[in-house]
Amino acid sequence: MQLRNDIRNIAIIAHVDHGKTTLVDQLLRYSGTFRENEQVDERAMDSGDIERERGITILAKNTALKYEDSMINILDTPGHADFGGEVERIMKMVDGVALVVDAYEGTMPQTRFVLKKALEQKLTPIVVLNKVDRPNARPAEVVDEVLDLFIELGADDNQLEFPVVYASAINGTSGLEPEDQQESMDPVFNTIMEHIPAPADTREEPLQFQVTLLDYNDYVGRIGVGRVVRGSIKVGQQVVVLKEDGSQKSFRVSKLFGFIGLKRVEIQEAVSGDIVALAGMEDLNVGETVCPADHPDPLPWLRIDEPTLQMTFVVNNSPFAGKEGKYITSRRIEERLLKELETDVSLRVEPTDSPDAWTVSGRGELHLSILIENMRREGYELQLSKPEVIIKEVDGVQCEPMERVQVDVPEEHTGSVMESLGERKGEMLDMVNQGNGQVRIDFKVPSRGLLGYTTEFMSQTRGYGIINHTFDAFEPVIKGQVGGRREGVLVALEKGKASTYGIMNLEDRGTIFVAPGTEVYEGMIVGEHNRDNDLTVNITREKHLTNVRSATKDQTATIRKTKEMSLEEALQYISGEEYCEVTPETIRLRKKILDKNEREKAAKRK
């Protein structure tokens, strides 16, 4: 079989924040892909606003660079398990993976997740041990950890013979030994060229091209990105796309794009092994195969892990609806959700009995909250119910998603963390004292036990703890209450503005969420009660003026700082009888039933 030795296809995989995107930056810079005077941002591959703000990769992206006489296609993947759908698709496009591991942190839950996907596809791995310049780096131990992980995940003999490159991506150095670092990326490039297999050259055979990523352009419409698995494709060629239901649609390839650096370049032809983008078909979808009309031969459909979490998206019907958002109708919200389905393969949207509500399922809280954050930035207003885990029937048994949780905590906080995860039905798997005052503990916890746990964990460890978790498997449902909020809430009695006087009178009742001058409405949640029942309060009351003078009149009223919540914290906080109201400017919490008397009647009926 002939091989195309001038090309390599590789995906970069790692746990969040182990340095994938920074490594891709250095490879692009060092390969001379950018001009001398070209202005390039840091983490050039993270192009989305939210990606830049949070410092995480959300969407898988591809780039290509020239190294000597060869072309290397690189796919940068997300490290967070919530975006696992992106990682799974990418594995179909490449022949090998570069597993990036932090030389201090070692293997983490999501290192395990992304590596498992790569090994299942029988891809050839190389390991890049990043951040070897960290003062407490432990390269030798981490390589052993990686080897143990490969064995545990059932790697075959060839995969176990992985080469290791040591690097410090942020400093632009790499080498084949931790101490021998040179200011170049040649050791990484040479390892890729030597160990990652070259794709087969089958340009004489009939075409097979599978769509794995989607993009959209106002000029050419929908663009499908994927790999030419077999044969060749030209601009102007008449082809058919094979749909999931077995139907076929023919179209003409209007444009073909190759990749170089961060740019797309128009090309006339692509052959087997190339990763390209093609335009010409309006309803192209992920997983579909493009073939010649006289030789329809579909590739296996892409299998994506099922969603584990769902929540209800509802049209905003609060007293403040329509004041801040541009798109508030059910038609607009439904259109936007269906548009998201076109590019996000691990999302599900299902209608409910009500025309104003939809059940949206995703891979985790972060997955859904990124969608909501994007919608509110685009001008949408909506209400969201409490996230719930999806119960699935496996062989006649009701099963719920379980997660592997890894916590790194200072020694003095281990007791409280173990106790709190024990209450949430967590089972301890492993505990290692790292000898520097830090303890690493592994747990298996039901997903529903982790909803809202991060905030509690941070306060238990005074902000010094690190928690990582990733989906493990569906297991039989654990009986009884798991997790959930214990405290009640303070609910506003009437519409108006929160006053300093009103807030001062409530401070001993709990934590206040709204600042003085904030507009509130009846049924809106304005704070957390320090007991387990809800309390309706008058936060808008003003101090009555009298003509009686006070000896303390000139003292300025001071109130404690109010607690502000991010979108994720708000979603984790609400209970089943509450909604989170999201607009482009504000995030509010409210009761589903706003009227106090109606709420009391509903509670009695329950």
Annotated binding site for GTP: 17-22, 130-133
Q: Which long-range contacts (CB under 8 A, 24 or more apart) does 472-477 make?
A: 472/401, 472/402, 472/403, 472/404, 472/444, 473/401, 473/402, 474/392, 474/394, 474/399, 474/400, 474/401, 474/402, 475/399, 475/400, 475/402, 476/397, 476/398, 476/399, 476/400, 477/391, 477/398, 477/399, 477/400
Q: How far apart are CA 277 and CA 217, in angstroms?
A: 12
Bridge partners, 497 (sequence order) = 519
**CB atoms near residue 179 (< 10 Å):** 8
Q: Are 242 and 289 in contact (CB under 8 A)?
A: yes
Q: How far apart are CA 53 and CA 40, in angstroms?
A: 17
Give me the amino acid identity at 358. W
Residue set of the binding site: 17-22, 130-133
Number of H helices and E strands in the chain, helices first, is 15, 35
Helices 453-460, 414-423: inter-axial angle, 10-degree rounding? 160
Give me the amino acid identity at 79. G
Q: How far apart are CA 14 and CA 11, in angstroms?
A: 10
Nearest to 200 by CA among 445, 365, 477, 8: 8
Nearest to 205 by CA among 286, 271, 147: 271
Per-residue burial over 153-163, b if 16 or more Cβ lie within 10 Å, else e, is: eebeeebeebe
Give me the amino acid identity at 100. V
Q: Which long-range contacts (CB under 8 A, 24 or more apart) does 352-357 make?
A: 352/312, 354/314, 355/330, 356/314, 356/315, 356/317, 356/330, 357/312, 357/313, 357/314, 357/315
Q: Are 251 and 239 in contact (CB under 8 A)?
A: yes
Q: How far apart are CA 73 and CA 6, in angstroms?
A: 11
Q: Are 110 and 16 in contact (CB under 8 A)?
A: yes
Q: How far apart are CA 425 and CA 14, in angstroms?
A: 29
Angle at Cα 408 formed by Cα 57 and Cα 78, nearest 5°?
10
Bridge partners, 587 (sequence order) = 582
> How far is C-alpha 406 from the geometric centre of its chain's CA atoms?
18
> How far is C-alpha 16 from the geometric centre of its chain's CA atoms?
10
Q: Are 133 and 168 in contact (CB under 8 A)?
A: yes
